[in-house]
Amino acid sequence: MDYMTLKEASEKWGVSIRQINYYCAGGRIPGAVKVATIWLIPKDAEKPVDMRTKQGKEQKNAKDTLC
């Protein structure tokens, strides 16, 4: 499997390196692994939805109504 770094994911998804780090630490990127101090993210991983945006809030509300 091919991996990308936080910097590469940041450039690909248009968000800060710090935000990608939060996604990885929070388990929001499936397949991301931490090797020593470096996060490795699968190249085919999709950007997690930002729950602070309108789209993220709508998605959260949809999940709440299903449960």
What six digits make up the tokens of 53? 């945006």
Q: What is the pLDDT of residue 54?
A: 66
34-61 pLDDT, tens digit per residue, is 999 999 999 999 998 876 766 666 666 6
Query: What is the chain's mean pLDDT, rounded?
Result: 86
Q: What is the pTM of this model?
A: 0.73
3-class secondary structure per residue, the chain:
CCEECHHHHHHHHCCCHHHHHHHHHCCCCCCCEEECCEEEEECCCCCCCCCCCHHHHHHHHHHHHHC
Q: How confident is residue 14, by pLDDT bands cut at 50, 70 and 90?
A: very high
> Which residue ranges make up each domain of the chain?
3-66
| Interval 5-34 mean pLDDT | 94
